Amino acid sequence: MQHRSEQQALTLAFTTFVLFQVFNAFNARAETGTTFNRTFFHNRSLWLALIGVVVLQILVVHWPLMQQLFGTTALSGIDWILAVLVASSVLILEEMRKAVQRAWQRIFRS
């Protein structure tokens, strides 16, 4: 197994935390219902902001000037996939919680 450098590990952690917040923004859209509804793409400002955050994160990780300013290093494709999978768990788990809550309420409302 290949050992990661400290800088690579810190960059991966930083990127994962940023992506956690991107996915968490979707959780804030619906307290009890699913965020994946027919209005999912309707908030243009939200989408522009999230795209901006992701683009800035890519620049911080891959543009040498920004790497120097932020102390980051380039991530591999596998690193990005890992960061997205881990960070998306906040959305997936919250969607599961809301689904269970809705089912629970239907059962006990009847």
Give the model confidence (pLDDT) of 5-44 as tens digits. 999 999 999 999 999 999 999 998 888 889 898 988 999 9
Task: Return the percentage of the chain with pLDDT > 90, whole number.
Answer: 76
pTM: 0.86
Is the distance from CB of 60 to CB of 70 less than 8 angstroms? yes
Through-space distance between the first and last CA atoms of the chain, rounded to whole angstroms: 54
